[in-house]
Amino acid sequence: MSNPQSEPTYTIGELAREFAITPRSIRFYEEQGLISPARTGQNRIYCNKDRVRLKLILRGKRLGFSLAEVKNLFELYDTNPDSAVQLETMLQLTEQKRAVLTQQLEDITMLMQELDDVEARCQEELSELKRGNIA
């Protein structure tokens, strides 16, 4: 019953190379309940879903999220809530996350501006140097 050319799978080493992290990290994410790959006896086999998860984990980390936070997001995404109460709380959660992201957007634009400032000052000084100023 197994598809002849079912789904692409990956070893831990492959994923580690692709995302430029160590196998140790990937195992750690599993230990924390963020991924749960299949096994061939001892060895881990990662499917596409696992790979996507890894990508999401790293994205979260780049934004300064903790692994617990990322796990939180996963559960948020995976859960298929049956009660209206659950749906409401989920909406509240997404709103919270959205607030964080909005704050980060603001932070980034302000930092970008400051980088512009620094850069502009540099460029100006450089052109002054080229004109051969001493005064």
Partner DNA sequence: TATGCAATTTACGTTAACGTAAACCTGAAC
Partner DNA sequence: GTTCAGGTTTACGTTAACGTAAATTGCATA
- Per CB under 8 A, the list member of 38, 45, 63, 68 interacting with a copy of itself is 63
Q: Which partner from the list a copy of itself, DNA, none does 110 bind, CB cut-off 5 to 8 Å by kind?
A: a copy of itself
* Only segment of 9-17, 47-55, 92-100, 107-115 that touches DNA (CB under 7 A): 9-17
Q: Is 48 in the site for a copy of itself (CB under 8 A)?
A: no
Long-range contacts, stretch 57-65, CB < 8 angstroms, 24+ apart: 57/29, 58/19, 58/21, 63/101, 63/104
How far, in whole angstroms, is CA 27 from its chain's centroid? 17
Question: Residue 70: how many CA atoms within 13 Å on its side-chain side?
Answer: 22
The minimum distance between CB 111 and DNA, in angstroms, equals: 16
Q: Is 17 in the site for a copy of itself (CB under 8 A)?
A: no
Q: Is 86 left (phi over 0), alpha (psi -120 to 50) or beta?
A: alpha
Q: Which partner from the list a copy of itself, DNA, none does 64 bind, CB cut-off 5 to 8 Å by kind?
A: a copy of itself
Could you tell me if 9 and 45 are in contact, meaning their C-beta atoms sit under 8 angstroms apart?
Answer: yes
The minimum distance between CB 54 and DNA, in angstroms, equals: 11
In the complex with a copy of itself, the residue whose CB is nearer, 17 or 121, is 121
